[in-house]
Structures are given as structure tokens and as C-alpha cells.
Structure 1
Amino acid sequence: MSSPELDVVEFLLTTRAYNEHRERDAEDLPPRYRTVFFADGGIERPLATSEEQTAAATGVDDPWAAVSGLMFTDRDDFAETLSLSEPDMAEEWFVDRIDADRLATNPTLAAVFEERENVPEVDYEQSREANRPMRADRVWIDSLLEEYFDDEEDEEMLDLVDVRAPEEVDMTLDDLVLTADQENEIVKIMKAIEHREYLAGIGLREIGKLLLVGPPGTGKTTTARALAHELDLPFVEVKLSMVTSQYLGETAKNVEKTFEIAKRLSPCILFMDEFDFVAKTRNSDEHAALKRAVNTLLKSIDEVSLIEDDVLLIGATNHPDQLDAAAWRRFDEIVNFPKPDVEMRADILQVVTQEMDIADFDPLELAADTEGLTGSDLRLVLREAVLDALTEERTTLTQDDLMEAVRDFEERDSLKDLDMIEGDHDALVAGGDISADGGSDTDTTDHSHDHDADGHTHEH
């Protein structure tokens, strides 16, 4: 149960309890509250409860209007702050309207009510453990980055990496359809993170470097991001072709700074896309600075560790065949991301369409008609079906809508194989058939009205 007045009262009870109980720390505050009070690298007592802060923490636009009718609330008109005039009454009112799930997401109040009678059962330690750690908050990440990048030259590095807080990842592992092997590797790495101290104690330190291989659109990047969300870890994403570009300054320095960012934000996930760029550079006559950057990259990979640095390194490539032995041996696990088979495609369609209204939906029929399509392709198909229906003012789709969207997708996809300069004439004319075979050895054109370049017609 939730309501504006309940949300505001919870906030006021939380700030009051946090101010009174000095043994509580920032990890006991719900993340949405920490964001409001975070300043200068931390959270200082006492926590103020201005109307502006209350609105920001609760999402209630007018918090005083929400609670002004309650007998235990008060407002300081001069300071524009809210308070509880009768805290005990406020607690009784609050407890009568909540369930255990609400307390479980607020360690500060879980500690207050843990031993109380007639209160939903809650465990403070479990609540604190389940609470997202402050190191994963956006405000904390930004404070570390601002501290590290203290001059204009360093700030250019932020254009080369994409740092996301777990809360900013909109995909979870539950949203994905994975193979048994992929799920097994994820479970293993999650266990390795959970038992880092044990692994260090028995001397197993070469753990936590994954290479995801497979065609584009098969979920490599999405899975890495979802893992960050699941583990409450900052996600540092970098495209190697950008970091090692000779047009972006000192390339080797860029590589080193990428790993420094990851270590500064640890524990975190460092995701390196386009890893085949390493092999392309090592096997080419590229600029010497690029070769030095790649050597620096391989050395940095050797020196970073999940066990010692709390950095989980994940590489991804669409071209595993281009990687040499030196690149392969940097990773302790290789995870294959093949194109989905018909059963996986049906499962993906079930997951992606769960919020859609589709009459007579048959995912198996649609899956059978989408051979060779990736999960990303299937999402594009569904997007087009939805947009086409909206042009007809419809929000309910049909199976025919989806099948038609598949055919449209395949037609558009065939454009990739067309020669736009000397290709099939019919396919390059408005209204032409882009599915037609490209070109013909037989000239069947009617030349009775040929035109010169100047536009004049010549009769034959």
C-alpha cells in the first residue's frame, strides 16, 4: 500500500530516527533519501526536512498538503520545514497502514520496529543487506568522478566511457531469455563475487574475466548491464575503438585511465566492447601509438583482478575468429551468445510482449517465421507492429499485425545487400520491388524513348 500521506510520514519518521540513533549510517537510508541528502562526498546529520527535500525524496509535489490533515504533523512557516508534533502517534498511524515489504526496504525504520509487537515482522540485518549500497548511487559515482577528473584534459576521458549506476539500467536478468550455459556462467560469477575472500584465501585469483562472443543483437551488452543491475554494481562501458583512437590524444594514457576509473569505482563491472579491435590493430600496420595502446590494454587486463581490485572485467566481440591466442588467454571464461533457436525466439517474444494486448497471439508461429532473427531483431519487429497499429488508432494488435511486421522487417533487411550504385533498377525506383533479384544479363528495357543527359528524347 502506498499513498502521498504515507510516503511523507515514512520520510519524516525515517529522518527523525536517523538523527536520534547515531549508530545508524548512510547504508541504513533508502537510496531515494540518500540522493536528497548527499553532499560533499557523504551525508551529514542532522537531516533536514524542508518541503523541497521532502518532495524530492518522496515524489510528492506538495507534501504539506498531503499530511496537513493529520493530527501529528506540523509545519514551520518561516523555515518551510515539516515535522512530527506527536511522534508516537505518527508511529502507530504508520504501523497500522504498512506491510513487511515496506519496512524491508527501509533499514532505519526496520531497526526501530524490529522488536515491537503488533508490527509486521521485519529483520533489520536482512533489510540492510538488501538495501542498495551507497557506492552504487549515482550521486556517489559522480562525486568520485569529479574528484578524479580535476582538470579539463582529464574530463575528456568521460566522453570515452559511459558510467551507469545500477538504478539507470532498465533491463534485469528476469527480462532476458538466456541459454543454460549463459545462466550457468552468470551464477558462477555471482558466486565468485559473493565469496571473494574465500577464493583469495585458497589462492584462486585468476577469476572474473569474461569474454562474450556472438553475432550482433544476441544480448551480450544487455546481459552485462543486467548483471550490473542484479549485483548493484556501477557499470563502466567503453568501446575500444574510441579509447584507442589516434585522434583522441595519448592513446595508452586513455587505456590506463579507463582501468583507473574502474578501480576508483570498485566494486564495479568494466565492460569492453569491440574487443576484436585488439586483434585488428595487432595484425595491421596501424599507427605505432595504437599498437602501444593495445599492448597497454593487454597489460592492464593482466593487472586487474576481481579478487584483489573488485573489478569484474567483461569483454565482448562479434568476431571471435579475429582474436589471437594472446587475446584469448586473458579471459578465464568464454560465454557464447548464438542466435536464438525457435524455442528461444518464442520465449523472447513471450517476455517482450507481456505488457502488450495481442489478440490470438501465437508466439510459436511467429518464432517459426523468424528464422535467423536475433532478440534485438524481434524487438524491432514488435516495435514496428505497435507503431503501425497506432497509425490506425489501435492499441490492440493481432497475430496478422505481427506477421506483416516480420515481412516488412525482412524487406528492409534485404536493403543491406543491395548495390545502390549499379544494382537492380526496379529495386531502386520508388514503388519498385526491393525483394527482386538484383540485376539481369538480359536487357529488356524499351529504348524507344531514350533520354540524353540534357533531357532530350530520341525516337528510334
Structure 2
Amino acid sequence: MFTDRDAFAGSITLVDDDMAIDWFVDRAAADRISANPVLAFVFGDEFGVDYETARDANRPVQADPQWIDGLLEEYFDEDDEEMLDLVDVRSPAELTVSLDDIVLTDDQEAEMSKVAKAIEHRDYLATIGLNEVGKLLFVGPPGTGKTSTARGLAHQLDLPFVEVKLSMITSQYLGETAKNVEKVFEVAKRLSPCILFMDEFDFVATTRTGDEHNAIKRAVNTLLKSIDEISLVTDDVLLIGATNHPDELDAAAWRRFDEILSFPRPDEGMRADIISLVTSEVDIADFDPAALAAETSGLTGSDLRLVLREAVLDALVEDRTELTQDDLMAAISEFEDRDHLRNLDTLEDALDDTHSDHTHDDHPAPNPE
């Protein structure tokens, strides 16, 4: 045989590598090779298995929830529990959205590709000293896909997703917010490789003014310093900030990001694509996404999903699981009515709308006699 067993230690070693390889090849099957990227790399040619395909079909270890749980147990003891209270940590397998579920602009797609290449060639970037890579700021109104894109990127790149809990990071106690900011970045470094996502980034990185409390200025300064000291190249952490209010960001915060990515409201073509995507599993008679897109000017991807929800629920009330184009048109009208109410400035405006058809003559003043 081609093995030798050490009776004292109980270990087994190969004494004839070529014979061992021949023995394995005679007994292996192509499906076993394709299920193991290492075997595909060595034996792929003999079994007609492509290494790249095998690698893509097998997620890396950091994508596994058990791997994340192991890291949390290894790197965070009882004294560190308060650090984990500041973030929500999810493995790629736990993220329900992928980039295939999102309609991106050309610029957004290009940036996602650049990020993927930067991660793939991180060692090269380190060699040439290009460390200021991997700090992205997503800018756009609510519902335009900033959070979904960050999560979809984590899913595609098989990276743990570390999302900051703003409700936990901001503290009523002087100086605590700055300390919490430092802890968040420390968590990301311990869990690397990962994506650190900070939604409502402007909430912490607000513009500093002369009359602000020193604690607020200290929190902003700590955030800027923490951003400076973290890097995709040296720390294996991809930082993504997102904001609905770019005008409220501190000017120095803008300069910390190597890429500012716009998330505008979708145009008519994008809306048609989004409608087609979100309805892909729904039976719809006489479906015309272009016509629906033409009636939804100003709506975001999130809004369009709400429109679909309304149409589906209305159909279910009638015991129908097949929708019609008219169902979706009616749902658009209902959504616009609700959106109008949301945008009213005061209750008096709502009352004015309710009674807009009435005049003072409809309700004459009582006769003083």
C-alpha cells in the first residue's frame, strides 16, 4: 500500500504519492470533484471539472453562520458584550437580498465591480501602497436601494455584514458616543474580512458648528479619525456609509470617502425594470411594465414594492392569486392617495382637502334670533 501507520503515535503518512493519487482517481466521481475547489484545482482536467466553476459554487468559510458565531465566541468575551450591542452582525447566508434582486444604475454596477476587483487584488494594492481604497458613501433619498445594495454586495462577496445600530451608538452621557464609535470600528476589525455599514451616516457625522457641545464635536472627530485608521487593504474592512441628507454632513467627512455613489430616484426605464423584477413570481394578465412605469413618476423601488403588496392583498380579498394590469393601476392610485396624505404639512391641510367642495353657504351661520 501507499500509507504507513505509526503504531506509537497513531498517525498515518503517505509513502507513495503517485500511488495514492492513482488510487483516489480510480474511485472518485466528477460530482465529488466539483464539490471541492481544492480537488477541482488538482484533478479538474482529468474529470472535466472547471476550477473556477467549482470555486464559485462553494461559498468561503466566512459565509457560514457557524463561522461567524465561532468568531464572536473567540474574539469577544463577557467584558466585550457591550461592544456587540452596538452592531448587528449577519453572515452572507443570512442576507436575503443579492445584487441580482436590485436594479442598479450603470455607475452603481461599475462601482460594485471595482470593489470586487479591489478585494480580489488586495495584496497587489498593499504592495504598491494604495491603501485608501474601500470607503464608499451612498447618497440618495429614502427607498432608492442604499441599504439593499450594501447587503447585496455582502451577499455577492461572501462577506459578513456588520451594521451599526444608531440607536445604541448615540448616548445621552457625555463622551460615551465617541467611545461607542471607537468600539464599532474595533468590532469590524476583529471580524474582518467584513463590510461595516453605517446607515444615516449624517446622524453622527453632522456638520460641526461653533456653538455645539464639545461632546458632539468629539464624537465627530472620533468618527473621522476612525475612518482614517481603517482600510480595506490593511484591515480587510469595506466601509459603506449611507445618507439621505448629504447637506448635513461635515465637510471633512466627505473627504474621507474615496467614492461617492449617487442613488437617485429611478427614471422611467429603471422603474419598468424594477416592476418586472418585483413581479417576476406573480401571474399578471395583460402585464405591461412600461405602462405602469409611465404612471409612477417619482416613485422609488421601495414604493413600487409597496404598490405590488397593495395589489396582491386586494386580489387576495377577492380570492384571486392572479393579478391584472388594472389591479396594479388601481394600487398605484391608492399609493398616491396615501402618499398625498403623508405629505400634508398639518391636520388642517387634511381637513381643507376633505371639505374643499363645500362653501360657507353650505353651512350658513345660525340665525341670531
Quote the residue 1:291 is aligned against. Answer: 217
User: 287-296 or 256-265: which moved more?
Assistant: 287-296
Distance 1:306 1:417, change over 3 A: same
TM-aligned CA deviation for residue 227 of structure 1? 0.5
SS at match of 2:197: strand
Quote the residue 2:316 is aligned against. Answer: 390
TM-score by length of 2: 0.84
One-letter amino acid of the structure 2 residue matched with residue 199 of structure 1: L
Distance 1:127 1:161, change over 3 A: same
Quote the residue 1:214 is aligned against. Answer: 140
Deviations 1:342-386 (A, max 9, x none): 000001111111111000100000000000000000011001101
Residue 69 (structure 2) pairs with residue 142 (structure 1) = yes
Mapped contact 1:245–1:290 kept (Cα < 8 A): no
Residue 34 (structure 2) pairs with residue 104 (structure 1) = yes
Q: Percent identity?
A: 69
Quote the residue 1:324 is aligned against. Answer: 250
One-letter amino acid of the structure 1 residue matched with residue 86 of structure 2: L
Alignment length (residue pairs): 348
Cα separation, 2, equivalents of 1:272 and 1:130: 30
TM-aligned CA deviation for residue 168 of structure 1? 1.0
Distance 1:234 1:446, change over 3 A: same
Mapped contact 1:219–1:337 kept (Cα < 8 A): yes
Quote the residue 1:131 is aligned against. Answer: 58
Quote the residue 2:278 is aligned against. Answer: 352
Distance 1:202 1:249, change over 3 A: closer
SS at match of 1:373: coil
Counterpart pick for 1:361 among 277, 284, 287 = 287
Quote the residue 1:159 is aligned against. Answer: 85
SS at match of 1:422: helix
Mapped contact 1:239–1:274 kept (Cα < 8 A): no
SS at match of 2:349: coil
SS at match of 1:282: coil
Mapped contact 2:68–2:91 kept (Cα < 8 A): yes
Say what the alpha-carbon RMSD is for the aligned residues.
3.2
Cα separation, 2, equivalents of 1:308 and 1:22: 38
Quote the residue 1:413 is aligned against. Answer: 339
Mapped contact 2:169–2:177 kept (Cα < 8 A): yes
Mapped contact 1:244–1:293 kept (Cα < 8 A): no
TM-aligned CA deviation for residue 249 of structure 1? 8.1
Deviations 1:111-167 (A, max 9, x none): 898587xxx632568635652221232112122223333226x32333331111001
TM-score by length of 1: 0.68
Counterpart pick for 1:399 among 311, 315, 325 = 325
Name structure 1 gaps, 5 residues minimum: 1-19, 24-87, 450-457
SS at match of 2:348: coil
Cα separation, 1, equivalents of 2:120 and 2:38: 25
Counterpart pick for 1:174 among 100, 113, 136 = 100
1:246-265 to 2 correspondences below 5 Å: 246=172, 250-265=176-191
Cα separation, 2, equivalents of 1:390 and 1:22: 65
Cα separation, 2, equivalents of 1:111 and 1:197: 21
Distance 1:444 1:334, change over 3 A: farther
Counterpart pick for 2:363 among 446, 449, 455 = 446
Task: Return structure 1 stretches of 4+ with deviation > 6 angstroms.
Answer: 20-23
Cα separation, 2, equivalents of 1:205 and 1:108: 31
Distance 1:241 1:332, change over 3 A: farther
TM-aligned CA deviation for residue 186 of structure 1? 1.0
Counterpart pick for 1:185 among 100, 104, 111 = 111
Residue 238 (structure 2) pairs with residue 312 (structure 1) = yes
Which structure shows the higher helix fraction? 2
One-letter amino acid of the structure 1 residue matched with residue 64 of structure 2: D
Counterpart pick for 2:197 among 242, 267, 271 = 271
TM-aligned CA deviation for residue 322 of structure 1? 1.9
SS at match of 1:280: coil
Distance 1:155 1:396, change over 3 A: same
Cα separation, 1, equivalents of 2:108 and 2:53: 29
Cα separation, 2, equivalents of 1:21 and 1:410: 72
Cα separation, 2, equivalents of 1:21 and 1:190: 41
TM-aligned CA deviation for residue 418 of structure 1? 2.7
Mapped contact 2:87–2:165 kept (Cα < 8 A): yes
